[in-house]
Amino acid sequence: MSFAERVRIQMSRWISDPDIVMVAVSGGADSVALLRALVETIGNSRLTAAHLNHQLRGNDSDEDEEFVRTLCAKLQVPFQSLRLNVGTVAVDSGRNLESVAREQRYRWFRDLAITKGVRFVATGHTADDQAETVLMRILRGTGLQGLRGIAPVRDLGYGTQVVRPLLTSRRSDVLRYLESLNQDYCTDESNFDLGYQRNRVRRKLLPTLAVENPAIVEHLSQLAEQAAEAFSEIAAAARTLLASAELPEAGDLRILRRGTFTEASLYLACEALRILWRRENWPIDAMRRVDWERTIQAIQSGGSVDLPGPIHVRCAGNVAQIGRAS
């Protein structure tokens, strides 16, 4: 089966005629191969392309944008780009550059898709990207949720989804496909900078592991799939637990039955709280594992705890009151 046909089969899991697909095209090999494969299999009349110029590499960033613009004109695919100084945004927010770039990119893709009435945004993440992500999370001390790696489908909100049809394809498949088309692509020199953890994992750790196990990428991808399946069941049980624990709100306070959490396992109880935090838009990234465990212990023992946010947990009788500090 050809590379393009495999892409078409993956896309058919999510889209059907006459869905329009927005393709996120950076100019790199993966996204260029995705665009070419979709033109080949579903046609350019059902495609539109988007390119975010992060303005991080000076003229190189502008040249990437122009390359994608020219390619889309050649393929007769509508093209739209945005120039955004992501470095300035990261400095102003005091946050990690890579996470800010990713957040800004997906936010623009979502907003552009909504404007164009497009439901699906396709990105070029491959099995190699999946393996790198799983390894990076293991190195950082992830749990089962993190082992899921890159999701094949991600909800961006407002009826828009990211789909990743190359997650079952290797980067070597991408390069062979582009070579067969005599299609060039852009090379981001920052991908060779070993100051970034992903580049160290890609250039050093994965090749070393592949010496011992040539199928390491496939095995890590399978691990991500299995973790996703297991976690989906845990998440469903956690939603049920939270629903059974919740009582009517008291102003800005969320009220939970303490007994429901006393009977639950620590892991399931923590996951139920994470669902609550995400729903209420409380600062979940500031919460460490010890904070979740302190919260469960306070609820089970009838105590209290102050958390990042600041969020306060106070127990009174058979209920726990949770909310922002006034």
Backbone angles phi, psi at 250, to 5 degrees: -120, 85
Q: For the structural domain made of 251-324, what CATH number should be given?
A: 3.30.465
Helical ranges in the chain per DSSP H:
3-12, 29-41, 59-75, 86-93, 97-116, 127-140, 171-181, 197-200, 206-212, 216-245, 258-262, 266-280, 289-301
Q: Please compute the mean of the pLDDT values over residues 56-72 and round it to a whole number.
A: 92
What is the model's pLDDT at position 92? 67
Confidence band, pLDDT 50/70/90 cuts, at residue 169: very high
Please state, rounded to an integer, the average pLDDT across all residues of the chain.
93
Confidence band, pLDDT 50/70/90 cuts, at residue 183: very high
Q: Please compute the mean of the pLDDT values over residues 245-268 and round it to a whole number.
A: 92
What is the model's pLDDT at position 232? 94
The domain segmentation of the chain, as residue ranges, is 3-221, 251-324
Nearest to 151 by CA among 225, 89, 79, 259: 225
Of 102-106, 166-170, 188-192, 195-199, highest mean pLDDT: 166-170
Dist CA 98 CA 191 (whole Å): 12
Find all residues with CB under 8 Å of 278, minimum gap 6, and list them: 284
R_g (Cα) of the chain, nearest Å? 22
Of 11-20, 70-79, 258-267, highest mean pLDDT: 70-79
What is the model's pLDDT at position 88? 79
**Least confident piece of the model among 86-95, 125-134, 262-271, 285-294:** 86-95
Dist CA 256 CA 315 (whole Å): 9
Whether residue 214 has a cis bond before it, omega within 30° of 0: no
Joined tokens for residue 191: 């991908």
Does residue 101 register a pLDDT over 90? Answer: no
What is the model's pLDDT at position 242? 96
Task: Please state which CATH class domain 3-221 belongs to.
Answer: alpha beta
What is the model's pLDDT at position 161? 96
What is the model's pLDDT at position 97? 75
Does residue 27 register a pLDDT over 80? Answer: yes
What is the model's pLDDT at position 54? 87
Confidence band, pLDDT 50/70/90 cuts, at residue 229: very high
Can you say whether the dihedral through the CA atoms of 93, 97, 103, 107 is positive or negative? positive
How far from 143 is each of 149, 167, 179, 299, CA to CA, in Å? Answer: 11, 21, 39, 23
Quote the crossing angle between the two packed helices 289-301 and 266-280, to the nearest 10°: 100
Does residue 304 register a pLDDT over 80? Answer: yes
Nearest to 287 by CA among 300, 302, 275: 275
Dist CA 227 CA 48 (whole Å): 33
Confidence band, pLDDT 50/70/90 cuts, at residue 104: confident
Does residue 91 register a pLDDT over 90? Answer: no
Dist CA 166 CA 169 (whole Å): 5
How far from 41 is each of 1, 6, 36, 164, CA to CA, in Å? Answer: 13, 10, 9, 16
Q: Position of tokens 């127990």?
A: 315
Residue percentage of the chain with pLDDT more than 90: 78
Does residue 87 register a pLDDT over 80? Answer: no
